[in-house]
Amino acid sequence: QQQVKQSPQSLIVQKGGISIINCAYENTAFDYFPWYQQFPGKGPALLIAIRPDVSEKKEGRFTISFNKSAKQFSLHIMDSQPGDSATYFCAASMTGGFKTIFGAGTRLFVKA
Amino acid sequence: DVKVTQSSRYLVKRTGEKVFLECVQDMDHENMFWYRQDPGLGLRLIYFSYDVKMKEKGDIPEGYSVSREKKERFSLILESASTNQTSMYLCASSSQPGQGATEAFFGQGTRLTVV
């Protein structure tokens, strides 16, 4: 019930294309769903996050789509750029809790 | 600029050695965490602390211990290093959840190799 399942494990996208990464969770008590971006040699950093009272959140080229009934959420990167090449982690946590549960990660490579 | 600083970027230790990984944060955060990152397994929580001298086991605490004597510092200890503890170790901190779960800030990681 504590798992967050992330797919795909790796993704190759042409420059200018759309990158899509999917995550699914089981615990309906989760109420905070962040995405972290990690470049080689660096720690993860928060990219964008959503709470379940909205179905979509957009920040620049990055959009989270959230489907509460299906217990799924996804990250869309529009107009993908080589500088977006990184590992992306979805995650979930809950109000009053201390732990963040992370997905296994997706390695994105954007071809120039 | 907020910072979580890990004392070493790279470490090579011998099997059986006692290993200390240090982490310091300058954001006055209550919560601190130690994760290990392995390919295909994501970030797995080893231990966390929600207050000075308080600690809780995460998902994979075996072979590890922690110490939090001051609010800003959280140490991970490998009592007797083994080759299966070769990994990337990440420290993170966050404020109290309060009104909702909050962002975690990560250090740059320590790549530990046990030979």
B40-71, pLDDT tens digit by residue?
888 999 999 988 989 999 999 999 999 999 99
- In B16-63, which ranges are E strands? 19-25, 31-38, 42-49, 56-57
Residue B2 pLDDT grade (very low, low, confident, very high; cuts 50, 70, 90)? low
Chain B residues within an 8 Å CB radius of A100: 101, 104
Distances (CA, A) of B30 to A24, A39, B43, B78, B93: 29, 26, 21, 23, 8
Q: What is the pLDDT of residue B39?
A: 87
Tokens 């600029």 found at: B1
Chain B residues within an 8 Å CB radius of A6: 42
Chain B residues within an 8 Å CB radius of A23: none
- What 8-state DSSP symbol labels residue A96? T
Separation CA B96–CA B31 (nearest Å): 7
For chain B, the first-to-last Cα distance in angstroms comes to: 36
Residue A1 pLDDT grade (very low, low, confident, very high; cuts 50, 70, 90)? low
By residue count, chain A amounts to: 112
Distances (CA, A) of B52 to B1, B29, B49, B67, B78: 24, 11, 7, 9, 20
Separation CA B82–CA B113 (nearest Å): 9
Residue of B nearest to A30 (CA): B101
- Cβ distance B90 to A98 less than 8 Å, yes or no, reads no
Question: pLDDT, tens digit, for every residue of A4-60?
Answer: 999 999 999 999 999 999 999 999 989 899 999 999 989 999 999 999 899 999 999
Quote the tokens at residue A62: 């990055």
- Pick from B9, B30, B11: which is nearest to B92 by CA? B30
**A with B: how many residue pairs have Cβ under 8 Å apart?**
63
